[in-house]
């Protein structure tokens, strides 16, 4: 089985590194900057449990050429959502007939885009639950826990075995819509974290920031209920109860949410990293999904609309929002 990781950034390098270290045949399609880094330092994967393993540069198959995907049996699409359509067109003329494509991306619309361009190919939803940060010098660090999910398909038996060998929990699920909506609800914190510019654990320890997330999630859950969409339970706490837990006073929250806070102290959201590096964020594919759902229902989502506006402003002019200021801003938006 030859695996190709198209868009080997934080997630792609981490998954690929874990698979290469147990002997899997993995091609990485990377940006020139990452290619140079990995050729010099090799690839190191670490996690919040203290585990750390390195793959020397000589064992990495790196390329900036999309055409190497023509040899793949399975392709992980790990690019930012804005690049999905471009990737689909690049793959269209080179894919083998039986190649399986898995979208390990944020949001809910990427698989639809891939299927529209690559009709006739097997394209599956995937979900990565954990945060991966780049620490420099070829080090990619998993900062939070969780099991990966992929849409059920008969061609995945060998891949499941490979992930098991790499000690990565991979669950096969028929109803990926429920999984993706549950992940999206958790990802609504990405915008709050990005605006705070704090590590995730520190941001979640501040009640006013948690209340901001609770407002965004409550708005989303109300819309999902109207749309008759039931999110899956990915955490010990059901999705519908998470906003109530987030609003608890700090000392009670710490008692009931130990697993939620089992985060590496330095972990940040990918959106926070994007703002810090001056890159466009995926806000339209996260909070934007809630706004899109609201429009489908002829309703509004003022909390998530406001978070989108603030993040887009921060893309142009960096700004840190203190917790109370952000909470007050969103409360006013809800009443407007």
**Domains along the sequence of the chain with CATH:** 2-174 (3.40.50.720), 179-335 (1.10.1040.10)
Which residues, including other chains, have CB under 8 Å from residue 58's CB and lie 6 or more apart? none
DSSP letter for 178, please.
Answer: H
Q: What is the CA radius of gyration of the chain?
A: 20
Model confidence pLDDT, tens digit, residues 278-329: 999 999 999 999 999 999 999 999 999 999 999 999 999 999 999 999 999 9
Q: Mean pLDDT by 10-residue block, N- to C-terminus, for the chain (336 residues)?
A: 94 96 95 93 91 94 94 95 94 91 94 93 94 88 89 95 94 94 96 95 95 98 97 91 95 82 78 91 96 97 98 95 98 92
75 near 69, Cβ under 8 Å? yes
d(CA 8, CA 295): 34
Model confidence pLDDT, tens digit, residues 240-259: 999 999 999 999 998 888 76
Strands 139-142, 100-103: pairing is: unpaired
Q: Which two tokens stand for residue 4?
A: 């190709």
* Amino acid 4: pLDDT: 97
48 near 262, Cβ under 8 Å? yes
28 near 60, Cβ under 8 Å? yes
């Amino acid at each position: 089985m030859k695996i190709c990781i198209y868009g080997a950034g934080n997630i792609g390098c981490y998954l690929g590194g874990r698979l290469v270290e147990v002997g899997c045949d993995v091609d990485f399609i990377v940006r020139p900057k990452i290619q140079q880094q990995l050729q010099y330092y090799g690839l190191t994967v670490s996690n919040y449990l203290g585990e750390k393993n390195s793959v020397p540069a000589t064992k990495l198959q790196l390329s900036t050429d999309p055409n190497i995907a023509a040899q793949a049996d399975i392709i992980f699409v790990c690019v930012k959502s804005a690049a999905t359509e471009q990737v689909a067109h690049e793959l269209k003329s080179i894919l083998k007939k039986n190649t399986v494509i898995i979208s390990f991306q944020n949001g809910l619309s990427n698989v639809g885009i891939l299927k529209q361009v690559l009709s006739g190919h097997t394209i599956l939803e995937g979900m990565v639950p954990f945060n991966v940060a780049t620490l420099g010098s070829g080090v990619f660090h998993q900062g939070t826990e969780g099991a990966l999910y992929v849409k059920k398909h008969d061609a995945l038996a060998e891949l499941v075995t490979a992930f098991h060998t790499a000690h990565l929990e991979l669950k096969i699920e028929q109803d990926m819509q429920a999984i993706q909506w549950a992940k999206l609800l958790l990802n609504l914190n990405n915008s709050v974290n990005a605006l705070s510019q704090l590590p995730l654990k520190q941001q979640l320890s501040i009640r006013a920031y948690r209340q901001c997330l609770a407002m965004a999630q409550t708005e989303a859950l109300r819309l999902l209920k109207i749309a008759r969409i039931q999110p899956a339970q990915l955490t010990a706490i059901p999705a519908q109860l998470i906003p109530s837990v987030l609003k608890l006073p700090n000392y009670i929250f710490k008692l009931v949410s130990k697993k939620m806070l089992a985060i590496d102290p330095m972990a940040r959201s990918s959106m926070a990293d994007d703002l810090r590096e001056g890159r466009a964020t995926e806000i339209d594919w996260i909070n934007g999904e809630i706004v899109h759902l609201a429009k489908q229902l002829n309703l509004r989502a003022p909390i998530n609309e406001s978070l989108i506006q603030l993040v887009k402003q921060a893309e142009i002019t960096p700004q840190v929002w203190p917790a109370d200021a952000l909470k007050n801003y969103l409360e006013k938006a809800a009443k407007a």
